[in-house]
Structure 1
Amino acid sequence: MTSLDSRTVNDPAAAASDGTPPPAEAAPWWTTAVVYQVYPRSFADSNGDGIGDLGGVRGKLDYLAELGVDAIWLSPVYPSPQHDNGYDIRDYQDIDPVFGSLAEFDLLLAEAHERGIKIVMDLVVNHTSDEHPWFVESRSSIDNPKRDWYWWRQPGAAGAEPNGWGSAFSGPAWTLDETTGEYYLHLFAKQQPDLNWENPEVRQAVYTMMNWWLDRGVDGFRMDVINFIAKQVELVSGPAAATDGGSPMGAQIHDYLQEMHRAVFAGRTGEHLTVGEMPGVSIDDAVLFTDAARGEVDMIFQFEHVSLDQGTHKFDPLPRSLVPLKRSLARWQDGLAATGWNSLYLNNHDQPRLVSRFGNDASWRYESATLWALVLHLHRGTPYIYQGEEIGMTNVKFDSIEHYRDIESLNHYREAVEQFDQSPASVLAGVHAMGRDNARTPMQWDGSANAGFSTGTPWLAVNPNYPAINAAADQASARSVFAFYQRLIALRHNDEVVALGAFELIEPDHEQLYAFTRSLNGQTLLVLANVSDEPLTVQGAWLPDDISGAELLLGNYPGDGAAALRPWEARLYRL
């Protein structure tokens, strides 16, 4: 694997001529940081209405400070009709009353900053809600000044959609608006019309809004499907076969992000974070997006590794296979080693729980939760913890689709059962495995009613296993997932090899072993992980050195098993 001159992360022109890595303080703050994602609706409810809110987040800041995280990524809290749980925004410069108010947001921001925790907002500007004033104006007539703020097209032959693009939430990506007789584009739900970034007025309105939030004190943005803001314009009105299932992303995306950087971030003092969610991008794309010299974004979320266990579609789960997963992650480590930076994640608000998806959440829940924590956090990049991950929360299996709330799962179920005549049980099994509500069940704080999430009726039912799996019980346990995450976060803060060291995968074809080294300035760390229910002999040609005298820095079993890795055992050595 290619080694890193860590200065290229911050300033490619500043690398020493002999390639000697600079001091750790030369690297950006986020190279030693850990980000915690809060999904406010499901985190903590402070007023008993069954929906999490900003008051609930404020009440848990000490918990997050104790965990040791450096920043909170706050999923959308803007005013919204909630068709897609806040990712359909009605007003970019306010707070939805269900979550609180701008005054309460300011309190959250101030109290987080007092604890040394940054707040990163979710930025959703590929689309708005169809209730946003911009779209209300745009759809009012074909000659409205805001008509060109969205993608409108005349019907195709025999009144068909302008092209064959499909929505990510099932069905076509075009909806006919009866008022004007034209179709509007929505890559997601029909209530989420896509903004037309070809229009400079749209771009300036977005930049003005972003500056408003930064002036208020927020510390950056996680940018939802940001690569989709640039469309392949020649295909928008093209024939039905023009898309062939590929990404709609257009080449002008780099121009847009560079313009955004100049208009919003250039010249600002302080430490801001920009991370772009970018489905379908390649490593070559990511190098360009995250090259600091180009002024686009600091890092991206890519989807390759979380798509490997999907068959013909997302809800067609495949058995877990370690080899393609570690090869994929290693390929991204290698590809962004010399220029750019990785985001490290295995779950978020759109993904199933990692301990259920990649581990064994029944017999080996603690071990597999901590194994994947160690493996992920020891890769090179910025780790993202999704709420509940730090206590080993699991997927949920509701016995009826009526208990689910996610628009993606509900649309898929209806389409599969009603249009394609699939059995309800088989479709529900796919939702159990891959549905987004797995991540959205309320945070399990303690063993009291509703897991301590709310004194009211939760908007989405709590996972029934909450009496056994909750934050209070975990923190009181001798085998605490929370405590393990604390130690991992401290390692990233204090050990520059963890933050900046070069990555090298060992035994890429081994179906049970996940092993790699991290090296910097003559120091080497070794990760050994047994991703299985069976013991694994440690001795082998794949070991870089004799580990008998190596220092064991962290492990998820007591003591050192030496000759054998126990089921789901993970160890971190300093060689």
Structure 2
Amino acid sequence: MPCDTGHDWWRSAVIYQVYPRSFADSNGDGVGDLPGITSRLPYLADLGVDAIWLSPFYPSAHEDGGYDIIDFRDVDPLFGNLDDFDALVARAKRLGLRVLVDLVPNHTSRHHPWFLESRASRTAARRNWYIWADPAKDGGPPNNWRAVTGGSAWTLDEATGQYYMHSFFAAQPDLNWRNPNVREAMAEIMRFWLDRGIDGFRVDMIDYLLKDEALRDEPVDDKGWYDHPLAKYQLNQWGVVDIMRGLRRVVDGYPGARILLGEVESRLPIDVLVRYYGTAGQLDVLHLPFNFWLLFLPWQSAALERFITDYDAAVPEGAVPNWVLGNHDVPRPATRLGVAQARAAMVLLLTLRGAPVVYYGDELGMPNVPIPPERIQDPWSAALPGGGRDPARTPMRWNGGPTAGFCPEHAVPWLPVGDGLETVNVEDQRQDPRSMLALTKALLTLRRARPALRDGSLRCIQGPPGIIAFSRVLHEERFLVALNTTDGTLDMPLPPGTVGVVRLSSAMDRTGTCSALRLRAHEACVLEWVHRS
């Protein structure tokens, strides 16, 4: 059950991301669906998470993994229907789980009725719902803005002689958020889902919502390049904060602490990232802006300590940090960091101050799965060679059978389930007291039981090179978390006059007390500090 059912439940909530295509297939078509998710909710309640976030399940042309939406107020038949969605929410609530859904405000599918009307003519009623511009003097795109998926961010519409903008694929035209009609339409979409009982939204790519009105070229380096996280005109416009305040007012109009979890560019500078909270005393923007830095920082103690210290200090008073270790766009931790390091990283994720997000399957240590060319689904594979995201989106492994329990054995999963099923699956790891699943569940149980690990202060502690250590303190309760980021054994001394009671090790094989902590290669430990008697 959730550790906090009150108004501020989200402040230390553990949010579990479900990618609907890959979680559980209920009808044998090889694709995950909403009834499949509903059937597996008891597993998530038993695991100990507080909320689930559902990636897009809306009607889509499926030209970008469901993020090209045709109808924001329905369920794609591939995943079920609205009755299935309502049943999922009702079952989640009975189990004490909250439900967040994806809101994708930056763009629609090119097949969305709004865009079909917008491109009908230059005088169409919804022409200004999207971003249109005349060609440059040479007939080319209006400026040098690039799509995240490669190439120009502009596509010429031959029929009307203007370019439309798309931050991603040409199949995903950007909405014009300077148009108040767009803002109100999106607010109505939010109310549609809030009225169905959801607890909030994960808001996709918010820093792209406003573009420079003059469409000025981005300044480039001597190679003609600019970095999206630092773009001056294509994104990162100050007015986005006001747009988010408008969305915040929508969720604040509902009882029970409905929240906004906002996706921003992955490597935003800390000062830009934290402005999406608002300011101390006026935290009226996002409840939780996504902090993706653990996905990109080197697994080195100095880099981790520096960022954790700077970020924690920059979060406005009254707000809480957010932490992410994996998601549907990046390689999984078990592949990115290594198996042992992924265990230590899970200890880090679930003991830091704030609200962490766990990506489905990472609690098992699921790895990336190589995808044969004939099985590739992700269009990013062709647009950005080496950038395909399918390897991190493969089916959840429920057992060691040929389809991993994701779908019936006569069906063909939409992506391969991969090798290593005999150890990396729910059924087998439930029987292993030292498995990654056992570690994750133990961490969640400890976090729920001990207030200092949920709500306590955080302070990094100087340790030997290669160790990152920090305290979590609330009133008289004190914990030390220490991680060895190296492949050698390192000693972490404890303060004079104290001993540590080992509450958890990433190896799941330690108990007892110590006055100095000897960490094995890539090991993490959680100790409760007590004064020596």
For normalisation by structure 2, the TM-score amounts to 0.90
Moved more, 321-330 or 129-138: 321-330
Using a 3 Å threshold, how does the CA distance of structure 1 residues 137 and 545 change in structure 2: closer, same or farther? farther
Superposition pairs of residues 110-509 of structure 1, within 5 angstroms:
110-234=90-214, 236=215, 238=217, 244-245=226-227, 246-247=230-231, 248-262=235-249, 264-279=250-265, 280-291=267-278, 293-308=282-297, 320-336=299-315, 338-358=317-337, 360-361=338-339, 364=340, 368-398=341-371, 400-413=372-385, 430-431=386-387, 435-455=388-408, 456-507=411-462
Number of the residue aligned with 2:58: 78
| 1: CA distance, partners of 2:437 / 2:87 | 26
How many residues get paired? Answer: 509
| 2: CA distance, partners of 1:336 / 1:261 | 18
Using a 3 Å threshold, how does the CA distance of structure 1 residues 205 and 129 change in structure 2: closer, same or farther? same
Moved more, 280-289 or 436-445: 280-289
SS in 2 for 1:216: coil
Provide Cα deviations, 1:190-214, integer angstroms capped at 9, x if missing partner. 1111100000000000001101110
Could you tell me how far 1:568 is from its partner in structure 2? 2.1
Could you tell me how far 1:244 is from its partner in structure 2? 3.8
Using a 3 Å threshold, how does the CA distance of structure 1 residues 47 and 546 change in structure 2: closer, same or farther? farther
SS in 1 for 2:99: strand
User: Is 1:532 the counterpart of 2:486 in the alignment?
Assistant: yes
Matched letter for residue 143 of structure 2: N
Could you tell me how far 1:450 is from its partner in structure 2? 1.4
Unaligned runs of 5+ in 1: 1-23, 310-319, 414-429
Could you tell me how far 1:337 is from its partner in structure 2? 6.0
Q: Give the share of equivalent positions with the same residue, in percent.
A: 39
Matched letter for residue 201 of structure 1: N
Could you tell me how far 1:238 is from its partner in structure 2? 4.2
- Superposition RMSD on alpha carbons, in Å? 2.2
C-alpha contact 1:337 1:502 (8 A) present in aligned 2 = no
Matched letter for residue 469 of structure 1: V
Return the structure number with greater helix share.
1
Could you tell me how far 1:239 is from its partner in structure 2? 7.3
Moved more, 137-146 or 290-299: 290-299
| 1: CA distance, partners of 2:444 / 2:133 | 50
SS in 2 for 1:573: strand
More RCO (CA 8 Å, sep 6+): 1
| 1: CA distance, partners of 2:361 / 2:292 | 21
Matched letter for residue 62 of structure 2: Q
Could you tell me how far 1:537 is from its partner in structure 2? 2.4
Using a 3 Å threshold, how does the CA distance of structure 1 residues 306 and 244 change in structure 2: closer, same or farther? same
SS in 2 for 1:72: strand
SS in 2 for 1:108: helix
Provide Cα deviations, 1:206-242, integer angstroms capped at 9, x if missing partner. 00110111011111000000121122223x2547859
Could you tell me how far 1:554 is from its partner in structure 2? 1.5
Using a 3 Å threshold, how does the CA distance of structure 1 residues 157 and 307 change in structure 2: closer, same or farther? farther
User: Is 1:553 the counterpart of 2:503 in the alignment?
Assistant: yes
| 2: CA distance, partners of 1:230 / 1:546 | 56
User: Is 1:92 the counterpart of 2:45 in the alignment?
Assistant: no
Could you tell me how far 1:127 is from its partner in structure 2? 0.7
| 2: CA distance, partners of 1:408 / 1:447 | 30
For normalisation by structure 1, the TM-score amounts to 0.84
Provide Cα deviations, 1:448-477, integer angstroms capped at 9, x if missing partner. 111111221111111222233111111111
